[in-house]
């Protein structure tokens, strides 16, 4: 098993990645932050991440498409959806297509940490992670 | 890890299906009737008054009736609080329109052939066909009116449900088929709880708790809740608005998990005139 959990974080709003990326690195994860969905998809095709955190509403490519691409490549990668446009239909579609969880924006970094910890546990990472 | 809600037209065996589903899935079973003793204990209202609030048609709900809007709010509060636990089958209409946005709730409506329901009533209550027909029709109308009055919603609207199951002639096989459909549907991943849907359920439960806390002041107020922030929409005459806002804020801030309260007042024109403002 890898020493560090590898996370890809995709959100077209600079502030989201800028805030969440360092907070996740601080607790011991290896994080790659993307604002451009196309670039993120290219990276997903190159490398198998443990966890992908993606926004939904982005130009050209939406988060559900990212989820579908991840599922094509890997059965184990956990996909966490973060969105400011949460609805019951979207929640069900995301779960139906294999999302691990969905969080409605705005949320506190601690909420994302908690979901990532659950995803890490489900992948067998039980090491103690410093609290955010 | 999900919630199933089941409503039905009268004498369609919805309760039996709900109990069987709970047993098969090893979920808890709850309905608006068996929850009344808990509501009575918590809010100090007699069970008979609470039961009346579930039966009274809109024309009877009001200041001259024993059924008060706050009694319905008290029942909703206990039910939505109960649904926070998950792994529950809930049979009843109280609260159903409030949880439409909770994605891990599978909402089921059971319907059946009218003649079969009449026969079912004749058999269960040992009454004539004529009496059974009148009773079944009356109960359907009563429920429809009650839901319209309380929630401004048509309980027979299929858009309220994820599954509408017509069990046709209410034979053993039809009931078993309905049960199988419900169980296989709820096992689908899209009905599993997630952070977002759990937050929605918690927000609904908190809103109900706030309405119950303030029911004495205004049982018709609208309340929205989001992660501890409470938005209250109420009516008041200008003169008394400040005192009302203060009283509401003080009461709500005492509730567990409440961090911030915002009160929006719609100045009541009728009250203004009657108070000579």
Dump pLDDT digits (tens) for B153-198. 999 999 999 999 998 776 777 888 999 999 999 999 999 999 999 9
pLDDT score of A63: 96
DSSP chain B: --EEEEEESTTS-HHHHHHHHHHHHT-EEEETTTTHHHHHHHH---HHHHHHHHH--GGG-STTSS--HHHHHHHHHHHHHHHTT-SEEEESSTTGGGGTT-TTEEEEEEE--HHHHHHHHHHHHT--HHHHHHHHHHHHHHHHHHHHHHHS--TT-GGG-SEEEE-TTT-HHHHHHHHHHHHHHHTSGGGS--HHHHHHHHHHHHHHHHHHHHTTT-TT-EEEEETTEEEEEEEE-HHHHHHHHHHHHHHHHTSTT--EEEEEEEE-HHHHHHTT-
Is residue A10 within 8 A of residue A31, CB to CB? The reply is no
Q: How far apart are CA A66 and CA B45, in angstroms?
A: 53
Instruction: List the domains of chain A with CATH numbers.
Output: 6-122 (3.40.50.2300)
Global pTM reads: 0.89
> pLDDT band at residue B276, thresholds of 50, 70 and 90?
very low
Neighbouring residues of B219: CB distance < 8 A, sequence distance ≥ 6: B68, B69, B70, B73, B211
Domain extent listing, chain B: 3-191, 217-274
Same fold flag, B3-191 and B217-274? no
Based on the number of CB atoms within 10 Å of its own CB, is B132 exposed (0-12), middle (13-18) or buried (19 or more)?
Answer: buried
Write down the CATH number for the domain with range B217-274. Answer: 3.30.70
- CA-nearest of B215, B24, B199 to B99 is B199
Task: Provide the 10 A C-beta neighbour count for residue B229.
Answer: 14
pLDDT at B147 over 70: yes
pLDDT score of B67: 59
Chain A residues inside the 8 Å CB shell of B196: 86, 91, 101-104
Share of chain A above pLDDT 90, in %: 85
Is residue A33 within 8 A of residue A9, CB to CB? The reply is yes
Cβ of B190 within 8 Å of Cβ of A93? The answer is yes
Instruction: Find the mean pLDDT for residues B36-50.
Output: 95
Residue B275 contacts A where some CB pair is shorter than 8 Å: no
pLDDT at B277 over 60: no
Residue B185 contacts A where some CB pair is shorter than 8 Å: no
Is residue A95 within 8 A of residue B195, CB to CB? The reply is no
Residue A115 contacts B where some CB pair is shorter than 8 Å: yes
pLDDT at B98 over 90: yes
Counted residue by residue, chain B has a size of 277
End-to-end CA distance of chain A: 23
Cβ of A96 within 8 Å of Cβ of B194? The answer is no
Identify which of A91, A93, A115 has the shortest CB distance to residue B197: A91
Residue B197 contacts A where some CB pair is shorter than 8 Å: yes
pLDDT score of B270: 55
* Domain covering B3-191 assigned CATH 3.40.50.510 in the classification: no
Closest Cα in chain A, distance from residue B100 (Å): 8
> pLDDT band at residue B55, thresholds of 50, 70 and 90?
confident
Instruction: Find the mean pLDDT for residues B107-120.
Output: 92
> pLDDT band at residue B203, thresholds of 50, 70 and 90?
very high
Residue B178, phi then psi, degrees to nearest 5: -60, -45
ipTM of this model?
0.90
Closest Cα in chain A, distance from residue B97 (Å): 14
User: Please, what sign has the CA dihedral across residues B47, B37, B58, B165?
Assistant: negative
Chain A residues inside the 8 Å CB shell of B191: 92, 95
pLDDT per residue rounded down to tens, chain A (132 residues):
667 899 999 999 999 999 999 999 999 999 999 999 999 999 999 999 999 999 999 988 999 999 999 999 999 999 999 999 999 999 999 999 999 999 999 998 999 999 999 999 999 886 545 444
Identify which of B101, B188, B189 has the shortest CB distance to residue A88: B101
Q: How far apart are CA B107 and CA A35, in angstroms?
A: 38
The DSSP H or E segment spanning A39 is: helix A37-46
B residues 95..124 contacting A (CB < 8 A)? 100-103
Cβ of B190 within 8 Å of Cβ of A95? The answer is yes
Neighbouring residues of B194: CB distance < 8 A, sequence distance ≥ 6: A91, A95, A99, A101, A102, B103, B104
Chain A residues inside the 8 Å CB shell of B102: 88
Is residue B89 within 8 A of residue B22, CB to CB? The reply is yes
pLDDT score of B102: 97
Residue A92 contacts B where some CB pair is shorter than 8 Å: yes
pLDDT score of B124: 87
pLDDT at B209 over 70: yes
């Amino acid at each position: 098993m890898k020493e560090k959990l590898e996370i890809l974080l995709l959100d077209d709003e600079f502030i989201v990645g800028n805030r969440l990326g360092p907070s996740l690195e601080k607790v011991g994860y290896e994080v790659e932050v993307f604002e451009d969905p196309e670039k993120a998809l290219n990276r997903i095709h190159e490398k198998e991440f443990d966890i992908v955190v993606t926004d939904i509403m982005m130009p050209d490519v939406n988060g559900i498409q990212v989820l579908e691409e991840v599922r094509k490549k890997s059965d184990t990668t956990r996909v966490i959806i973060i969105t400011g446009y949460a609805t019951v239909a979207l929640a069900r579609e995301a779960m139906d297509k294999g999302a691990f969880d969905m969080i409605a924006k705005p949320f506190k970094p601690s909420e994302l940490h908690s979901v990532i910890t659950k995803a890490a546990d489900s992948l067998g990472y039980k090491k103690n992670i410093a609290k955010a | 890890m999900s919630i199933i809600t089941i409503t039905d037209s009268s004498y369609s065996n919805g309760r039996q299906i709900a109990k069987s589903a709970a047993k098969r899935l090893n979920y808890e079973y709850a309905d608006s009737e068996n929850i009344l003793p808990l509501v009575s204990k918590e809010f100090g209202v007699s069970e008979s008054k609470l039961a009346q609030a579930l039966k009274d048609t809109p024309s009877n709900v009001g200041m001259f009736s024993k059924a008060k809007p706050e009694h319905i709010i008290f029942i909703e509060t206990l039910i939505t609080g109960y649904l926070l636990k998950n792994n529950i089958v809930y049979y009843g209409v109280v609260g159903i329109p409030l949880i439409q946005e909770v994605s891990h709730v599978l909402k089921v409506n059971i319907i059946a052939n009218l003649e079969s329901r009449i026969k079912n009533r004749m058999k269960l209550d040992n009454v004539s066909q004529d009496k059974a027909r009148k009773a079944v029709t009356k109960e359907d109308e009563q429920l429809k009116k009650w839901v319209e009055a309380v929630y401004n919603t048509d309980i027979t609207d299929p858009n309220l449900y994820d599954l509408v199951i017509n069990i046709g002639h209410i034979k053993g096989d039809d009931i078993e088929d309905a049960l199988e459909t419900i169980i296989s549907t709820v096992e689908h991943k899209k009905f599993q709880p997630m952070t977002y849907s759990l937050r929605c359920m918690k927000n609904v439960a908190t809103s109900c708790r706030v309405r119950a806390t303030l029911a004495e002041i205004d049982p018709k107020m609208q309340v929205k809740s989001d992660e501890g922030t409470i938005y209250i929409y109420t009516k008041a005459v200008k003169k008394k608005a400040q005192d009302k806002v203060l009283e509401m804020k003080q009461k709500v801030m005492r509730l567990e998990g409440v961090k911030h309260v915002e009160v929006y007042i719609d100045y009541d024109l009728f009250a203004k005139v009657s108070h000579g403002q």
